[in-house]
């Protein structure tokens, strides 16, 4: 039992390291060859996990081989445009000038239902509002709305936009993040004062707190604390 636990732990760490080396893309952003490598690595790791009769090295070597192959292919596609086209393919124009390209749909085995679903994910509910729709190599679509159908920008409205930056998380599940607190220019005394205004006695009672780009504190108390 202990052997199975140790083998599983070792393979788990190796798979995590391999996936980390592959990059930070989400599943929906993976190229076809990257998705294939990810699936094969998980399958290669599962075999020696289940069968203790197989030497552990027989699972590790194929994983490292797949990782090396993935890195090599990524490097080649990075350096060569032709190789990148062969490996990853090219984007396909599904809608051009407001016209649906039926032939492209057939070539890509892509349905109108697939397109409509992705348009809805981009808050576009009428295909007539689309000027161009491009199917990217990772399966996602890029959309250019027709003139007058896109959301107005500050430039369009002739107004000055406000500066926006990511909020800084300072408390997560009761844990105070000292580094982020300094970065947010919030002192402990100021934080404690703000928490007192919200009738919160301690940072341990806070589920989540962050400081926005406007310097305002957003804070949510833990549910258990509220009940008490």
Cβ-contact 103, 148 below 8 angstroms: no
Strand order in the sheet with 175-176: 175-176, 168-172, 206-211, 217-221
Query: In Å, how far from its chain's centre is CA 180?
Result: 22
**Beta-carbon-side half-sphere exposure of residue 114 (alpha carbons within 13 Å):** 13
**Beta-carbon-side half-sphere exposure of residue 8 (alpha carbons within 13 Å):** 8
Q: Which fold has domain 92-145?
A: CRO Repressor (3.30.240)
Phi, psi (rounded to 5 degrees) for 202: -145, 160
For residues 143-170, give the mean pLDDT.
Answer: 82
Q: Which CATH superfamily is domain 168-227 in?
A: bsu07140 like domains (3.30.240.20)
- Taking the domains of the chain in order of start, what are their residue ranges? 2-86, 92-145, 168-227
Q: List, in sequence order, every residue forming a beta bridge with 103; answer none if it has no partner.
A: none
Token pair recorded at residue 120: 């809805």
- pLDDT reading at 24 higher than 90: no
Q: List, in sequence order, every residue forming a beta bridge with 171; answer none if it has no partner.
A: 176, 209
What's the pLDDT at 26? 52
Neighbours of 207 (CB within 10 A): 16
Neighbours of 213 (CB within 10 A): 12
Q: What are 83-112's pLDDT values in tens digits? A: 888 877 889 999 999 999 999 999 998 998
Give the global pTM. Answer: 0.64
Evaluate whether 92-145 and 168-227 have a shared fold.
yes
């Amino acid at each position: 039992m202990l052997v199975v636990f140790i083998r599983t732990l070792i393979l788990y760490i190796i798979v995590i390291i391999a996936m980390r080396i592959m990059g930070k893309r989400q599943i929906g952003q993976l190229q076809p060859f990257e998705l294939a490598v990810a699936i094969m690595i998980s399958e290669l790791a599962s075999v020696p996990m289940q069968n203790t009769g197989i030497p552990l090295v027989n699972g590790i070597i194929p994983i490292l081989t797949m990782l090396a192959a993935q890195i090599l292919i990524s490097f080649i596609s990075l350096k060569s445009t032709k190789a990148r086209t062969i490996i990853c393919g090219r984007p396909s124009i599904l809608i051009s000038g407001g016209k649906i390209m039926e032939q492209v749909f057939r070539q890509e085995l892509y349905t109108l239902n697939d397109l409509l679903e992705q348009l809805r994910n981009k808050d576009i509910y009428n295909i007539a509002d689309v000027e161009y729709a491009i199917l990217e190599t990772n399966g996602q679509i890029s959309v250019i709305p027709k003139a007058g159908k896109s959301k107005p920008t500050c430039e369009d409205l002739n107004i000055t936009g406000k500066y926006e930056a990511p909020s800084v998380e300072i408390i997560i599940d009761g844990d105070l993040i000292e580094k982020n607190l300094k970065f947010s220019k919030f002192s402990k005394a100021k934080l404690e004062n703000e928490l007192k205004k919200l009738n919160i006695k301690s940072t341990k009672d806070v589920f989540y707190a962050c400081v926005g780009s406007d310097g305002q504190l957003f804070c949510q108390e833990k549910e258990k604390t509220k009940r008490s």
